[in-house]
Amino acid sequence: MTFRPPGTLRVLALLAKNSLLRLLRASQVRKARRQTVPGEGSRSGRSRRPTRRKRGDGLAWLLVLMLPLFAFQSLMMTGQAVVRLGVATEQYSELRSIAEAAVAEPAQGAPTDEDQPRYGGRYTGRRGDDFNVLTPARVWTQPGARERFVQCGALLLLTLLSMLVAIGFGGANANLAGGEWTQAWLMTFPVPTRSLVLAKGLEYSLVTFFPWLTLCPLTYQLLRALGHPWALPAAVGATLATTFLVGSARLYVETRLRLSCSLRALRSVQGACTLTALLLMALVFGIALGPSIPSWFLDLGGAAPAWLVWSPGAWPLAMAEHGAAAALAGVGLTGLVFVLATSASTRLLAHGAMRTGGVDAGARGRAGAWQRARRLGVAGKDLALLLRDRNFLVQTVFVPVFVIGLQLLVNPGLGKVQGSGVAMLAYGIGLYSLIGGCFQVLAAEGRSLWMLYSLPVAIGDALRQKTRIWATLAVLFAWIGLAAFAIRGGQTDLGSLLVDALLVGYGVWCAAHIAAGISVIGCNPNADHVPRQPKARHVYLYFFFASTFFVGLHSAELAPRLATMLVFGTLAYAIWQRACDRLPWLLDPVEEPRRAVALFDGSAALLVFFLLQALLSVLLMTGSIGDGLPPWSSILLAFVIAGAVTVVSFVVVLTRRGVDVMQTLGLRVTDGRRVAVDCGLGLLAGVGLGMLGLAYLQMVREHGWFELPPAPGKDHVELLLLAVVAAPLVEEVLFRGLVFGGLVRSVRVPLAVVWSAALFACVHPVASWPPVFLMGVVAAVVFQRTRFLPAAMLVHASYNFVVLCC
């Protein structure tokens, strides 16, 4: 039986449907649900239900939220750039006319020194001048200014177009250097090659969003500034046409490269294209968003030939001058390029869709580097990979440097920071440089991840080794930045510089583990295509966590620095622990770790509790709610509500996850006599500690080590309730039950005891750190010994009671 092959339109529809499904189903949110296709699942009774995918990381909605934000931001930035370009061209033309007048009539005088500094060789509408999100039509006062503006705008659009083309071949293009090429498989269908090529071209042209965030707003603002009456439809149409130009270019060059280069060479090409795109992006940003529009750019705009506006990509500006004729010409040009590109690609494929029969030949490099690196184990393999895969090298090492350079270019003020700003900047550099590589610790393994699992190395150790490479690299970057900025800022105090270096190094090292942890938690190695780029939502999450360390860098005193280091280290370890929990199940498509209480739960509970408590306190104290309660009542109420909400919600969350909460918190009573003994022990320990605490307070008063707040007095029932009932109940669940319980799973008991006690101390005032720390240690030891949380609560309660009431 032979069937009539589908026509071109049918092929286009089929492949378009495929692209659409890929877009729709790509989102983790959709994957998280059980999916059945209507009519298919019920086709017969025998079909088994589709396997439930692993839970998503729940952050997909962030991206959806971000999109309109991005759109608004790009509209704002382009608006600003266009307004300033307009002002600059006017100023430039004014200065030139003064100069020309001086040549014609010497009596009027050459441009004076007063004119020069006004523009300083750089022509700027300062930021904030005359600025709207939608650029108003400009009134051109200087002769020639409008023409210069058009030429400069055309240059900008052309640069942007080149950037988009370069991005098309950059690292984000998985099809370019992937092992399999879908085109080759599609060729085994009885469909004309032309249809397949056409479908690919359409996909490349239409399924892209970057031009819509860059080209479209810029064109729109430029047209508005030029007073084009149909700016919006013209800009949208022009962008659509330009996406076809970019898509055609991508189609043709990709086909050509695929057929003529080895995979290794393709990777190098990708690296080069990413670099080119970055350079062009830096150029666009530098010109349009720098402190001023450079004069060489305005010169270039003046010197550029008039036909420039008719060139591909820039022709939309010709619409402002020549109207419909320009639009027709542009669309015609685009159509022509598209037709040429598709037919040329079809012709290329007429010589076969593959370069080699079997193994990709000619892809061997020198063996030397590998010989040396082999001794380093997993880390050595990664280093060899880094040096060989130039695309990866560019993505991970050069991109961060470029991004930082770009920031400095756009905000030159950044380079002149002083004091704690230097350390913060250096830390920021470290953070940036982690994005490329550290987020890829596992994703870079791609489909060969299973090999790591087959080695006689604990998978957690392999991950640690891999993370160390990127952490080292990032710390180096940060230190270089620190040194450079310190020298530039004239900082000579070696001691404080050393402290800064230590602090920054510690922060970056922790951040590396946060990045690696997030990437492991968010990575799905079972996907057929593992993306080589970090997901945006993971990067946002990483920045959110990592930015908490800025607090410690910002403060100059020791105590808050220590506290921040501790909290930040705990956060990093919490994320790391959770990642390690997940590691053994990473290659399993459906199963997830059976979870016990993790440090992550403790950290999250603490965060929720303190935020809630702070919020409620503010609301109650200011009388926004609760109608003017006395201060101590407000504090008590805030504490109780926040504590109850946190504890209850975490108990619910943990139970739903299948954790035996009663067991974990040691609330399951089995032996009445043991309970009595445990409670007595706790009570006794608490009273003893309270005595020590009183002695310590006495010593502090005598020696004047700290300024103590005035004693609140014993007549406050609320304070007593807070200290003796509420605080022990809530804080013991959080610090002993969740934090200590989470820690003790993966570190030795003494370390877990000290760690949780230190965390407990650092949420208290500095003056009380030593006795509170001691109390934390004892409570943790009691909890560990008895596995009965109320005993620890009794330690806490009796300690507080003694200190307050005696």
Partner 1 sequence: MHATAPTGEPVVELRSLTKRFGEHVAVRDLSLQVARGEILALLGPNGAGKTTTIRMLMGILSPSSGTATVGGHDCFADRAEVMRKVGYLPDEPMFYEHLRGGEIARFCGAMRGMPDAAVVARTDELAERLQFADALDEYAVNYSMGMRKKLALACAMLHDPDVLVLDEPTNGLDPMVTRTLLALVRELAANGTAIFYSTHLLEQAERLCHRVAILHRGGLAALGTPDELRSQLAPGGSLEDVFFQVAREDGAEAAE
Quickly count: other Cβ atoms within 10 Å of residue 110's Cβ.
12
Does 73 sit near partner 1 (CB under 8 A)?
no
- Give the helix ranges, DSSP H, for 374-419: 378-388, 390-393, 399-410
Q: How far is the CB of 529 from partner 1 (least distance, A)?
A: 6
Question: Closer CB to partner 1, residue 53 or residue 764?
Answer: 53
Site string for partner 1, 508-537 (x = CB under 8 A): ------------------xxxx--------
The stretch among 14-22, 80-88, 392-400, 762-770 that binds partner 1 (CB under 8 A) is 14-22
Contacts of 680 (CB under 8 A, 6+ apart): none
Smallest distance from partner 1 to CB 59, Å = 20
Do 243 and 336 contact (CB within 8 A), yes or no?
no
Alpha-carbon separation of residue 65 from 32, 56, 68, 216 (angstroms): 19, 17, 7, 20
Terminal Cα-to-Cα distance of the chain (whole angstroms): 98
Q: Which stretch binds partner 1 (CB under 8 A): 188-196, 247-255, 508-516, 685-693?
A: 188-196
Residues 6+ apart with CB under 8 A from 520: 441, 442, 463, 579, 582, 583, 586
> Can you give the length of the chain in residues?
806
Task: Work out whether 187 is an interface residue with partner 1 (CB under 8 A).
Answer: yes
When the beta carbons of 351 and 703 are compared against partner 1, the nearer one is: 351
Query: Is residue 448 part of the contact set for partner 1 (CB under 8 A)?
Result: no
- In the complex with partner 1, the residue whose CB is nearer, 22 or 118, is 22
- Cα 448 off chain centre by: 25
Return d(Cα 737, Cα 731) in angstroms, integer.
Answer: 9
Stretch that binds partner 1, among 142-150, 350-358, 513-521, 625-633 (CB under 8 A): 350-358
Name the segment binding partner 1 (CB under 8 A); options: 187-195, 248-256, 643-651, 739-747: 187-195
CB 191 to partner 1: min, Å: 6
- Under the binding rule (CB under 8 A), the answer on residue 10 touching partner 1 is yes
Strand partners, 123: 293
Residue 189 as a binder of partner 1 (CB under 8 A): the answer is yes
* Residue 333 token pair: 């040009």
Residue 348 binds partner 1, judged by CB under 8 A: no
41 touches partner 1 (CB under 8 A): yes
Nearer to partner 1 (CB atom), residue 115 or residue 360 = 360
Q: Which of 193, 343, 420, 533 binds partner 1 (CB under 8 A)?
A: 193
Dihedral angle, C-alpha 178, 529, 172, 186, nearest 10 °? 50
Q: Does the protein bind partner 1 through residue 586 (CB under 8 A)? A: no
The beta strands (E) that lie in 611-741 are given as: none
Query: Rounded to an integer, what distance in angstroms lies between the CA atom of residue 791 and that of residue 783?
Result: 7
Query: Are 467 and 512 spatial neighbours (Cβ–Cβ below 8 Å)?
Result: yes
Q: Does 47 bind partner 1 (CB under 8 A)?
A: yes
Minimum distance, C-beta of residue 364 to partner 1, in the bound complex (Å): 14
Binding mask 20-39 for partner 1 (x = CB under 8 A): -xx--xx---------xx--
- Computed on alpha carbons and rounded to an integer, the radius of gyration of the chain in Å comes to 33
Q: How far is the CB of 185 from partner 1 (least distance, A)?
A: 6
CA dist 360 and 75 (Å) reads 46
Residue 446 tokens read as 């791609």
Candidate list 51, 73, 260, 418; residue touching partner 1; CB under 8 A: 51
CB of 261 to partner 1, least distance (A): 14
Q: How far is the CB of 524 from partner 1 (least distance, A)?
A: 10
Query: What are phi and psi for residue 123, nearest 5 degrees?
Result: -115, 120
Q: Is-contact 387 428, C-beta < 8 A?
A: no
449 makes contact with partner 1 (CB under 8 A): no
The window from 168-176, 180-188, 460-468, 610-618 that contacts partner 1 (CB under 8 A) reads 180-188
Exactly one of 361, 625, 648, 751 binds partner 1 (CB under 8 A); which one? 361
Binds partner 1 by CB under 8 A, chosen from 233, 332, 352, 412: 352
The Cα 445–Cα 448 span in angstroms is: 6
- Cβ-count burial 200-236 (b if 16+ within 10 Å, e if not): bbbbbbeebeebbbbbbbbbbbbbbbbebeebeebbe
For partner 1, the binding residues (CB under 8 A) are: 1-6, 10-11, 14, 18, 21-22, 25-26, 36-37, 40-41, 44, 46-51, 180, 184-193, 350-358, 361-362, 526-529, 589
